[in-house]
A and B are shown apart, each in its own frame.
Chain A
Amino acid sequence: MYYAVTFALIVTMALALARALLGPTVYDRVLAVNMLGTKTVLLLAVITFLFGRPDFLDLALAYSLINFIGVLAVLEFFRGRARDEHPGDGGDR
């Protein structure tokens, strides 16, 4: 059954990757990256049990903690760009 879940997860990763490649807006791509991040956490968690080595859950834990930073960095990047394009109303959103 772990195999079935793993299969569902990697197929979904492929679908999310397709969304990331198709775009069309940058927000779609960020959405796809975020989705792939969650899928990776689940994939790693399932595979640890597939391998029968539950002590490797640390990996999934690391991803579940860190994935957030990438999304925040992208948002901050957008905000900085908006501030540069419209000087004056910067930052206060």
Chain B
Amino acid sequence: MELLGLYYYWIFAILLMTGFYAVIAKLNLIKKLLGLSLFQAAVFLLYITMGKVDGGTAPIFADGATEQLFSNPLPQVLILTAIVVGISTTALGLGIVVRIKEEYGSIEEHEILETDRQ
């Protein structure tokens, strides 16, 4: 049980760094953005994991029932808004990538740098 609980955090660590690897090592700009959304998802997962309470349920009062144990609503609020913000900023990134493709004819980082040097 102890280790299973830690496993959630380990998955977070590996997921976070998988995303980060795509951002630093991949040359394709869309791949970098995909990596960035993985990174983002890992952070979402960490917050939600920390909000979980043993034997708790989602923080919505059910009809009639009193004295329920609830999970922490605060991380959920933060992540709920962050998901929508995340898709908007990803879209902004994709917009920049599309414009780069139109100007440079490529979305590979090294080719873009090559064009810039000339």
Touch between A and B in complex, CB under 8 Å? Answer: yes
How many contacting A-B pairs (Cβ < 8 A)? 8
Give, as a whole number of angstroms, the nearest-CB distance from B61 to chain A.
11
Q: How far is the CB of A57 from chain B (nearest CB, A)?
A: 13
Measured in the bound complex, the distance between the Cα atoms of B57 and A56 in whole Å is: 11
Nearest CB on B from A47, distance (A): 11
Residues of B with C-beta under 8 A to A53 = 57-58, 60, 62
The answer to whether the Cβ of A55 comes within 8 Å of any Cβ in the partner chain is yes
Do B57 and A55 have beta carbons less than 8 Å apart? no
Please, which residues of chain A bring their CB within 8 A of the CB of B57?
Answer: 51, 53
Query: Which chain A residues lie closer than 8 Å to B60 at the CB level?
Result: 53, 55
Chain B interface (Cβ < 8 Å from any Cβ of A): 57-58, 60, 62
